[in-house]
Amino acid sequence: MSETRIDRRFKALKAEGRAAFVTYVMAGDPNFETALEIIKGLPDAGADIIEVGLPFTDPMADGPAIQQAGLRSLGAGMTLKKTLELVAAFRQTDDETPIVLMGYYNPIYSHGVDAFLRDAKAAGVDGMIVVDLPSEEDKELCLPARQAGLNFIRLATPTTDAARLPKVLANSSGFLYYVSIAGTTGAAAPSPRDVANALTRIRKTTDLPIAVGFGLRTGAQAAEIAKIAEGAVVGTALVEQVALGNSDEDKVKRVLDLAREISAGIRSVKKT
């Protein structure tokens, strides 16, 4: 596979000696224009990689905050096509920051896998995380995505044991997303020590950069993770700011303010 924006970003950060700040926001939440404002503002607020949530009616691995974000977005008329338009609009002003689509398989399957890969690539998407496609279903999307030059980023979890890990890693690229707790998004915070032990185990099998997520809410928590991983992912806490804001402007401001705070935490950790 040729180098993607994701590969370049992790390489640059390694040279810089710090971990990546990976942000997650829901496409079209609370509406297309405001979501675009948020995504455009994230790189300046310190985001190194942006995960864009592809809304789905039945997000079985998400907690209440991201469930509600998805429903707000669908309620405002968001679709897969418009999600790709959002990415394309972002790309007009930013050709560097990697964009990863994160969601569930059915909207992609419904659009058609080949058409999706073509359209996603054209829009400027770099990779994807599809929660309900484990390695058992690699033929569906993972292998075609690789073929199309897009990173298929896999989740590893506390239940992924040493015997299973090579299978999970086999066709993944870009980075590995380590889900730090058994649970849904936005659940309890992980214990840094458990995460460190898990990462030590995983590194025996892969050289891919590892980003850790699920349950990170603050700059301090993200800094703990930045010491031991190549990236820290924050989603639910940012998405909650969209719900809390009392106007579209306020929503944008709240998300970006929190992103700046978390980014400062991650940037405070220097690695040799």
Partner 1 sequence: MAKLNSYSTGPDETGHFGIFGGQFVAETLMPLILELDAAYEESKNDPEFAKELSGLLKHYVGRESPLYFAERLTEHYGGAKIYLKREDLNHTGAHKINNCMGQILLARQMGKKRIIAETGAGQHGVATATVAARFGLECVVYMGETDIERQKPNVFRMKLLGAKVVPVKSGARTLKDAMNEALRDWVTNVEDTFYIIGTVAGPHPYPQLVRDFQCVIGEETRRQLMEAEGRLPDTLLACIGGGSNAMGLFHPFLDDETVDIIGVEAAGHGIETGQHAASISGGRPGVLHGNRTYLLQDDDGQILEAHSISAGLDYPGIGPEHSWLSDVGRVKYVSATDTEALEAFQLCCKLEGIIPALESAHALAYLEKLAPDLPKDHIIVINLSGRGDKDIFTVADALGVEL
| Residues of this chain, 182-221, that bind partner 1 according to CB under 8 A | 182-184, 187
Whole-number minimum distance, CB 63 to partner 1, in Å?
Answer: 8
105 is a site residue for partner 1 (CB under 8 A): yes
* Candidates 28-36, 177-185, 223-231, 254-262; binding stretch for partner 1 (CB under 8 A): 177-185
Note if 48 is an active site residue.
no
Residue with Cβ nearer partner 1 (61 or 269) = 61
Cβ 184 to partner 1 shortest distance, Å: 5
How many of the chain's residues bind partner 1 (CB under 8 A)?
45
Calculate the CA dihedral of residues 60, 65, 71, 74 and round it to 10 degrees.
Answer: -100
Helix/strand/coil (H/E/C) assignment for every residue in the chain: CCCCHHHHHHHHHHHHCCCEEEEEEECCCCCHHHHHHHHHHCCCCCCCEEEEECCCCCCCCCCHHHHHHHHHHHHCCCCHHHHHHHHHHHHCCCCCCCEEEEECHHHHHHHCHHHHHHHHHHHCCCEEEECCCCHHHCCCCHHHHHHCCCEECEEECCCCCCCCHHHHHCCCCCCEEEECCCCCCCCCCCCHHHHHHHHHHHHCCCCCCEEEECCCCCHHHHHHHHHHCCEEEECHHHHHHHHHCCCHHHHHHHHHHHHHHHHHHHHCCCCC
Residue 62 appears among annotated catalytic residues: yes
* Residue ranges in 19-58 that form contacts with partner 1 under rule CB under 8 A: 55-58
Asked if 210 and 176 touch (Cβ cutoff 8 Å), the reply is yes
Query: Choosing from 62, 85, 126, 240, which is the catalytic residue?
Result: 62
> Which of 108, 145, 202, 233 lies at the binding interface for partner 1 (CB under 8 A)?
108
Backbone angles phi, psi at 114, to 5 degrees: -65, -45
Question: Which residue in the set 59, 98, 209, 215 belongs to the binding site for partner 1 (CB under 8 A)?
Answer: 59
Task: Using CB under 8 A, pick the residue from 47, 65, 80, 202 that binds partner 1.
Answer: 80
Which of these ranges, 90-98, 105-113, 220-228, 249-257, lies near partner 1 under the rule CB under 8 A? Answer: 105-113
Q: Using CB under 8 A, which of the segments 181-189, 195-203, 225-233, 238-246 binds partner 1?
A: 181-189
Nearest to 262 by CA among 236, 243, 241, 234: 234
Q: Is the dihedral of CA 5, 96, 115, 75 positive or negative?
A: positive
Of 68 and 260, CB closest to partner 1 = 68
* The only residue of 1, 113, 134, 260 in contact with partner 1, by rule CB under 8 A: 134
113 binds partner 1 per the rule CB under 8 A: no
- Which of 29, 37, 51, 126 is flagged as catalytic? 51
Give the per-residue contact string, 141-160, with partner 1 (x = CB under 8 A; - = no).
-------------xxxxxxx
Stretch that binds partner 1, among 35-43, 126-134, 201-209, 237-245 (CB under 8 A): 126-134
Contact footprint for partner 1 (CB under 8 A): 55-64, 67, 74, 79-81, 104-111, 131-137, 154-161, 164, 168, 179, 182-184, 187
Q: Which residues are catalytic?
A: 51, 62
